[in-house]
Chain A
Amino acid sequence: GESVGLHLPTLSVQEGDNSIINCAYSNSASDYFIWYKQESGKGPQFIIDIRSNMDKRQGQRVTVLLNKTVKHLSLQIAATQPGDSAVYFCAENSLQGAQKLVFGQGTRLTINP
């Protein structure tokens, strides 16, 4: 999840469809992962988290999948709504008992009516 890109990947989906946003993380020692949503002019908003001893976690309309073998994280949003339009970031934390998040470059999700 090292943030090095200049260009945000984008994803456009139709309202009501499901969205899948992917993220590759960098540190195999990372044991905690978070997905954030950031709307224009606002700080990142927590969506869902997952610990490395799990491979799936569900929230309200969102599911996070973790594949440690290939260091891949995904966020699934069911029945997308216009309010889901935002930039989505994955973040990893490799320090037990400390907070030092490494963010991915982000994906801009656009919901088409």
Chain B
Amino acid sequence: KAGVTQTPRYLIKTRGQQVTLSCSPISGHRSVSWYQQTPGQGLQFLFEYFSETQRNKGNFPGRFSGRQFSNSRSEMNVSTLELGDSALYLCASSLLLQGGTEAFFGQGTRLTVV
């Protein structure tokens, strides 16, 4: 069974640009959530999608957005990039059975803003 796949693995962008990251969840998983990981703030929740709907959102500015497609694949977009957006962006997928289920993470996309 293939794991969570994130593309690209590495990305370098310039301040002011925008970027789109992609996540393919484990087959059959309908919940996809995104996290930002930085040395200073650790792992922070960005948003969660389920059946193409954003259900939960973390405390990030509106420059951070996402979407989910009918096949559960998800993308996140960051517009008007700032230096502080440099981070490892992680995607996790879950079956979301009642009572909580494991979230499986991808390898992440390392974004560097210069």
Contacts and interface: CB of A to CB of B under 8 A. Distances in A.
Instruction: Please determine whether chains A and B interact with each other in the same assembly.
Output: yes
Contacts, number: 82
A91 B43 CA distance: 10
A99 B96 contact: yes
B94 A5 contact: no
Interface residues of B, number: 32
B92 interface: yes
Nearest to A94: B100
B104 A46 contact: yes
Contacts of B108: 42-43
B90 A43 contact: yes
Given A95-B56, A101-B33, A106 B42 contact: yes
Given A98-B48, A101-B35, A3 B41 contact: yes
A3 B43 contact: yes
B39 interface: yes
A48 to B, nearest CB: 9
Contacts of A101: 33, 35, 43, 45, 92, 103
B103 A46 contact: yes
Interface of A: 3-6, 31-32, 34, 36, 41-46, 49, 51, 89, 91, 93, 95-106
